[in-house]
Structure 1
Amino acid sequence: MKTQILRFSPLQSAKVMAVLSFMMLIPPLALFALAALLVRRDAGVVIMVVLLPFLYLVLGFVLTLIGAWVYNLVAARIGGFEFGAVDTGRHDIDVH
């Protein structure tokens, strides 16, 4: 069965992507910060470690919001992403 995604909710998509981006940035940034602090003790490193995740969160939100809006415009004219799907008959999957 072929299915198309005709529309994304721009605001919900942006919120989800911003949080995911923020969460994925924390571990490598913590390792980088630790390494940087061991090499040289500088207030700039601490400022970067605090500000960079929030900048990444804001940029991820804004760019995903714009991307979902543009996708909706394009999908309305030429169709959305198409993918194959099959009903497995399992409706007992807990997503939490």
Structure 2
Amino acid sequence: LYSVGGFLFELSAGTLNSGTALAFLALLGMPLLFALAGCVAGLILAPLYNLLARFGFGLELELDSD
């Protein structure tokens, strides 16, 4: 909230501080960066897990219906 308010105030005053702009862009950019990193990690680790599961290193789950 501080970042958005400070960004809008400095934008309206015409003196955009680089620290405020960086904080505002980090507020928008960090969730996108973490989402991208999670997607890339999933794309790499899922085939690796499937490869290892073929050789018996996977998880086995048995559910009883008692």
TM-score, normalized by length of structure 2? Answer: 0.63
Bigger fraction of residues in helix: 2
Give a deviation string over 1:46-84, Cα, whole Å, max 9, x none. Answer: 100111111111110010111111001100112420223
For the aligned residue pairs, the C-alpha RMSD in angstroms reads: 1.9
- Greater strand percent: which structure? 1
- In structure 2, runs of 5+ residues without a counterpart are 7-19
Aligned length: 51
TM-score between the two structures when normalised by the length of structure 1: 0.46
* 1:63 and 2:52 matched: no
Instruction: State the structure with bigger RCO (CA 8 A, min sep 6), 1 or 2.
Output: 1
Larger radius of gyration: 2
1:44 aligns with 2:22: yes
Q: Percent identity?
A: 29
